[in-house]
Amino acid sequence: MSKTPSDRIPEPGQGKRGEEGHIGYLLRQAAAAHRHRMEKALATFGITPPQFVVLTMLNAYPGRSNADLARVALLTPQTVSVIVANLERSGLIGRRPHAVHGRIRHIDLTEKGVALLEDASATVERVDDGLLAGLMPAEEEIVRRWLVFAAIGAA
């Protein structure tokens, strides 16, 4: 039995997958498309988007613990534990003991991690540029402000 036009699932941008869709769904749809592009771009460097986020957050906030990274990277503690173990095994990060709490370990980028992050960030910037293509700088600023507002308001 062949599908009639009304049986087909609309493409992104059409129907409820377009401007008449719920904003939460549209955010999720955009995030999924962006993640797919990021996966392809970061595969060249042998890292995943969540690993890139962890490296980026460690670069911005060095010496954080697994728990801190989970919060700032928006990942579960279990996922961060696996990511940290894999990044450490790859030589991209190093861990050192906390001065007071024996079970807590500070995590930092290694020189190799910094170099990889610099290269990967240039590629990610191109992915982001594609995402923002067609927007004027003022429009990009509005989008960025709205996304931050949405995140703060949802907290």
Whether 79 is in a domain gets the answer: yes
pLDDT digit string, tens, across residues 17-29 = 788 889 899 999 9
Q: What is the pLDDT of residue 60?
A: 97
Whether 51 is in a domain gets the answer: yes
CA angle 137, 140, 142 (to 5 degrees): 115
Q: At what angle do helices 111-132 and 23-43 cross, to 10 degrees?
A: 130
pLDDT digit string, tens, across residues 102-148 = 777 899 999 999 999 999 999 999 999 999 999 999 999 999 999 99
Range of the domain at 85: 24-154
- Whether 6 has a pLDDT exceeding 70, the answer reads no
Closest to 53 (Cα-Cα) out of 37, 33, 38: 38
Whether 7 is in a domain gets the answer: no
CATH of the domain at 80: 1.10.10.10
The number of folded domains in the chain is 1
CA angle 43, 49, 134 (to 5 degrees): 95
pTM comes to 0.85
